[in-house]
Amino acid sequence: MDIDMDADTAGGRAEHIAQDRRFDVWAAGNAYERYMGRWSRTVAERFVTWLGCPDGLRWLDVGCGTGALTATVAARCGPAALLGVDRSAGFAASARGRFAAAQVPGAAARARFAVADAGALPVPDASCDVVVSGLVLNFLPGPGSALAEAVRVGRPGATVAAYVWDYAEGMRLLRHFWDAALALDPAAAALHEGRRFPQCRPDPLRGLWTGAGLLDVAVAEIEVDTVFTGFADLWEPFLSGQGPAPGYVAALAPPARDRLRTALRRAVPARPDGSIALTARAWAVRGRKPGGAAAVQP
């Protein structure tokens, strides 16, 4: 499906793009690493610090992707048990391989990975102390159902937490990208994450957690630096075709793709050495399942 900006109507293209859910599918670990995975590790570190959970707990990472959050938990939280699940077999395999290569002391014996959907976790009721999810909640077809499933597998007093990118305002890379795309093609609005994922804001996240019956709900901001060695380092991950923005680029006809590349290059602030320094913000949310002692330290 190539989108030629000089053909069809913007409305027709927008409808076609919006209905093509393959752009929301993540399957290739290496492609994701170059696009977002390299930044997600820093966010994961700050997230687990914010949670403040003690060692010796049973953790479940829902939508583990390439394993950034799972590996962080293994390295910093001393889990008694650790399971990462993802609906993509490719991602689960990538996480397993990266996890083994990291050689976290003692972690290999505690960690497992499985292919499973967030709406049907392969875990018994009340069996986890901490259930977490990183950068995946907004891509789930039913976030509320997935959260209910996370609550189900948590023990009384369990911590249930997640973080998502602030697509609307805090992701400078995507803000530059979509501003450039929209200036050239109004149909790009159909895939703009800031418009598609309004739940990735403090109030909607707080409401989702509170609505699931969780207590002591808190929301926090996590901001990280995203520095690119040059424009190629920034642009090439958009060619993978995975995710809304790369999917949009892949759907463009070559002339339209070249115009977007030129517009984006002009828009991003390059340093004298060619590097590009931006920032990315995520919102983290946590809550406690009623009953029992909290897993989070006061």
Decide which of 206 and 139 is more confident. 206
Joined tokens for residue 183: 């200036």
Continuous segment of H or E residues that includes residue 203: helix 202-211
Q: What's the DSSP call for residue 240?
A: S
Q: Residues 289, 148: contact at Cβ < 8 Å? A: no
Continuous segment of H or E residues that includes residue 60: strand 58-62
**Could you give the C-alpha distances from 75 to 4, 57, 60, 167, in angstroms and in order?**
47, 13, 15, 28
pTM for the model stands at 0.86
Residue 7: per-residue pLDDT: 33
Decide which of 41 and 253 is more confident. 253
The answer to whether residue 1 sits within a structural domain is no
The rounded distance, in Å, linking the Cα atoms of 164 and 62 is 13
Q: Residues 74, 108: contact at Cβ < 8 Å? A: no
Q: Roughly how many angstroms between the first and final C-alpha of the chain, as a whole number?
A: 52
Q: 67 pLDDT exceeds 60?
A: yes
3-state secondary structure of 256: helix
Q: Residues 130, 295: contact at Cβ < 8 Å? A: yes
Residue-wise pLDDT tens digits, 246-292: 989 999 999 999 999 999 999 999 999 999 999 999 999 999 999 97
Residue 4: per-residue pLDDT: 40
The answer to whether residue 256 sits within a structural domain is yes
The answer to whether residue 90 sits within a structural domain is yes
The answer to whether residue 56 sits within a structural domain is yes
Q: What's the burial of 284, exposed, middle or buried (CB within 10 Å: 0-12/13-18/19+)? A: buried
Q: What's the DSSP call for residue 35?
A: I
The answer to whether residue 4 sits within a structural domain is no
Query: In the block, which residue shows the tokens 């939508």?
Result: 63
Q: For the chain, how many structural domains are there in total?
A: 1
Instruction: Band the pLDDT of 31: cuts 50, 70, 90.
Output: low
Q: Residues 282, 43: contact at Cβ < 8 Å? A: yes
Q: Where in the sequence is the domain holding 98, given as residue range(s)?
A: 10-288
CATH number, domain with residue 236: 3.40.50.150
Q: Residues 160, 188: contact at Cβ < 8 Å? A: no
Q: Residues 140, 270: contact at Cβ < 8 Å? A: no
Task: Select the highest-mean-pLDDT range: 50-54, 167-171, 240-244.
Answer: 50-54
Torsion sign across C-alpha atoms 207, 117, 220, 287 = positive
Q: What's the DSSP call for residue 36?
A: I
The answer to whether residue 297 sits within a structural domain is no
Parallel, antiparallel or unpaired: strands 276-288 and 215-228: antiparallel
3-state secondary structure of 296: coil
Torsion sign across C-alpha atoms 71, 294, 49, 146 = positive
Q: 105 pLDDT exceeds 80?
A: no
The answer to whether residue 143 sits within a structural domain is yes
Decide which of 101 and 268 is more confident. 268
Phi/psi for 228 (5° steps) reads -105, 140
The answer to whether residue 2 sits within a structural domain is no
Looking at every residue in the chain, the average pLDDT score rounds to: 87
Instruction: Count, in order, helices (H) and strands (E) of the chain.
Output: 12, 7
**Could you give the C-alpha distances from 83 to 17, 86, 91, 169, 293, in angstroms and in order?**
35, 10, 14, 32, 22
